[in-house]
A and B are shown apart, each in its own frame.
Chain A
Amino acid sequence: MADSDIKAMTANLDAVEFDETAFTVPVPLTEAKVAIVTSASLHHPGDEDFSPMDTGYRVLKSEHRDYVMGHWSPNFDATGFALDINTVFPIDRLDELAAQGVIGSVAEEHLAYAGNQFELSAIRMDSGPAGAKFLKEQDVDVVLLTPV
């Protein structure tokens, strides 16, 4: 078993194509509120688990770092996250960057989606825009997207 073999299995999955590449010019990073959005299916222990084809999102609070990996795929190493949440969800690192003044601030709430999706229309038409609205409502400027 090898990481390269797993990657090769998924390397050529059909990608969603966008006619145009949207592009938002950010505020200066030193003024930006930064959130993390991960496709690692993280959630808090008391939240609803992700179902196999779950296209929704879960809110991850900065305050409670008891994140659980709810991903259905067996095709990734989980021990990195088990040792250190920042391997997937670098919330402690963002706190340090905010304390240093490198970034403006860290969002109090972040988002997790389930990355093991083959049918993306629901995310594209529904939960994706809803997640963006959620982040905009808390004045997020910059989103760091992390896979698993």
Chain B
Amino acid sequence: MSTLAHIFEAEGLATIALGSIKTQIEGTAPPRGLWCDFPLGRPLGVPSDPEFQHRVLAKAFELLDSPEPVFAEYDVSIADDETDVLACPMPPRHDPDAHPAVDEANGLRPAYERAITQYGNRVGAGRAVEVDDIAAAIEAFVRIAEGTPWKEAGVPGIPSRVSQDVRGYYETAALELSDHAPSAWAGTRWFLDRTEAGKIIMAARQAMADAGEPNPIWFYMAPGDR
């Protein structure tokens, strides 16, 4: 962001750069920078809270009054408490012959469709895997977790991209199943730690690492601190 700020200012555009990582925005020193200590993925702070978002924007636009380059810190922080997990009732087992992760994914389909109707498909399936193929993608990760080399497992695309679509499918469905808006990362923790599909993806990722596959192939299947 800050690189673009420097370039745009040189071309005659006034800019205000928001930043969520303090050392980054300080180091790149955009002409007008506002560090907001908010979780990654939420640069305006709080979803569905127009008043909060307006306060952030008001502070950002204030920086235009400065006659010289300026860096400011927003005075409200939003901390990730590192433990909050989305509370989300899951559909019961339906097909005892299917792998639990596949059965789970199929059971979430109605909730996913309702969420798409309500919010649109903003982060769900469709980037690497169409929604009809999510279950097949999970089956491929099951095979990897059970020892099949990933290139022979039938992953329908680059593993990191496919796993993101599975995560997006689950997190989108969860918006409909939960009775509250999730705090940042609560949906991801729920997916990775509480769902069968998340556990399978983590197991497949570990199997690929153990098999000596190149780091970029498996590392980005989950957030980097995992």
Contacts and interface: CB of A to CB of B under 8 A. Distances in A.
Contacts of B24: 10-11, 13, 15
Contacts of A102: 61
A83 B175 contact: yes
A43 B147 CA distance: 37
Given A90-B57, A96-B54, A132-B13, A3 B7 contact: no
Contacts of A22: 6, 9-10, 31
Contact of A97 (B23, B39, B57, B224): B57
A116 B1 CA distance: 10
B11 A77 contact: no
A147 B8 CA distance: 16
Contacts, number: 267
B216 to A, nearest CB: 9
Contacts of B42: 77, 80, 87-88
Q: Of B8, B41, B50, B221, which is in contact with the most chain A CB atoms at under 10 Å from its CB?
A: B41
26 contacts: A3-B184, A6-B40, A18-B6, A24-B12, A24-B31, A77-B41, A77-B42, A79-B41, A79-B184, A79-B186, A80-B184, A81-B41, A81-B47, A82-B175, A93-B44, A93-B57, A123-B7, A132-B10, A132-B12, A133-B11, A142-B64, A143-B8, A143-B16, A146-B44, A147-B18, A147-B20
B41 A74 contact: no
Interface of B: 1-24, 27-31, 39-48, 50, 53-54, 57, 60-61, 64, 67-69, 79-80, 82, 115, 119-124, 126-127, 158, 160-161, 163-164, 167-168, 171-172, 174-175, 181-182, 184-189, 192, 220-226
Interface string A12-25: 11011010011111
B122 A67 contact: yes
A21 B69 contact: yes
A72 B168 CA distance: 12
